[in-house]
Structure 1
Amino acid sequence: MPFNDIYGINAFGDSVMRDRLPKAIYKELKSVQAGECELTNACAEVVANAMKDWAIEKGCTHYTHWFQPMTGLTAEKHDSFISPTADGLAIVEFSGKELIQGEPDASSFPSGGLRATFEARGYTAWDVTSPAFITEEGNCKTLVIPTAFVGYHGEALDKKTPLLRSMQALSNQAVRVPRALGNMSSKRVISTVGPEQEYFLVDRELYQARQDLIFTGPPCSDRFLPRDRNLKTTTSARFPNGYPRS
């Protein structure tokens, strides 16, 4: 099977949602992802049902809220799609509430001194901007739902919540720039987080005139490369002569 035919087949991504969700619900969820409105219980119920059907068709029996606590590792809380009934049978269900929120034992994870030891309550909250996906270990397949992990009063107990909040704060302020230039249709600014290969060389006089560069500090320092390379005039180049090495 060609690689492009299997790429992303275990992710509940945009194409899957477009095929499985009613048009109105899909449009509403996209608005939620864009930060234009809040997620409603009615929308969550429909999404949860579609996500459950898709996961079960692929062989999943359990789902988990997946989060990144301040341990440097990931954590999960597994639950089953199957619920026993009073007559000894079982039903398969997955509600919007179960999709949106979970409650792992927060006392098992560090809080960075934000809370007292006895304040054990913590919540996982569905991150609508990250697609759910399926993992397989042995004969067990699990629907993995990316979530944020917070305390009862909203304290960030993980590494994802500060990132999401920072991206939102950055968007709120950065969108003022195009609006000041007359572009009133801009609604948000998407930040790309990650290392870049480029560097920008600034003269010392210009650097000293820019308070923003001084506050952030010089991000690069010139060092000899561990081995010689071709095309050294590109991203692997040394600083030109005349610029001191730090």
Structure 2
Amino acid sequence: MDSKGSAPMGLSSLSDIVAFERTPLDARDLPATSYAALAQAAQAVPHAPALSFFAEAEAFDTPFQWDHETFFDHVTRTANALRQIGVGRDDVVAYVLPNLPEAHLTIWGGSAAGRVLAINPMIEAMQMAELMRAASVRVLVTTDRSSQSDIWEKASAASRDLPSLRHILVCAEQSYAANDGVWLTTDAQPPMSDDAKQIGADRFWDLLKTARADALEFGAPRLSPRPVHCAQGSVNHDSVSL
């Protein structure tokens, strides 16, 4: 879909490709940032599915789903919430998460507020710590203690003795255990574990609860030429490392 919400021309032959490529990308009025692209989709197709998630294969028919309008609202709320806890344009938000919906909010909301460092949850705690120390991570988003993985054990161990770290936000994998496609309200989210409380973590959704969803409370993000450290290298696209 182009910037005006029109369907793209079909590409079914070499001549179609040649015709398409006669127009350079900088003449196509494409969104300059990921946040602008999400805003465009929310305006063009607000009720089309943007994200579908199911924790188990047998729940394929009952996914948790956000349309583009709702997804963009959550991304905006995430960006504002991160800015409220001190994430500036050059600050780094790291996430150590499986492919939960909260991972996508952290990527796109985090890149609107600051910069994002994706850390592979399969690597060891020592490697996580080295990456976060190199990137001077200010906020860490990870899972709470769970019987489904050892992510909490590794991420919490990696977060010790990081002078730049100010906040740890935890997500509950158990929120999706019912596999019924019904989103839990913020108040119905599973309580934090004692381990998370002891190190001063906050629940991800508690932070978002009071954040504004209809507009950014700071200047819109711009394309950044600077890379962010990542477990698998770095990229220069829109302040996000994947």
Greater radius of gyration (CA): 1
Q: Comparing both chains, which one has the higher relative contact order based on Cα–Cα distances under 8 Å and sequence gaps of 6 or more? A: 2
Pick the structure with more strand per residue: 1
Give me the TM-score of the superposition, normalised by structure 2: 0.18
Pick the structure with more helix per residue: 2
Give me the TM-score of the superposition, normalised by structure 1: 0.18
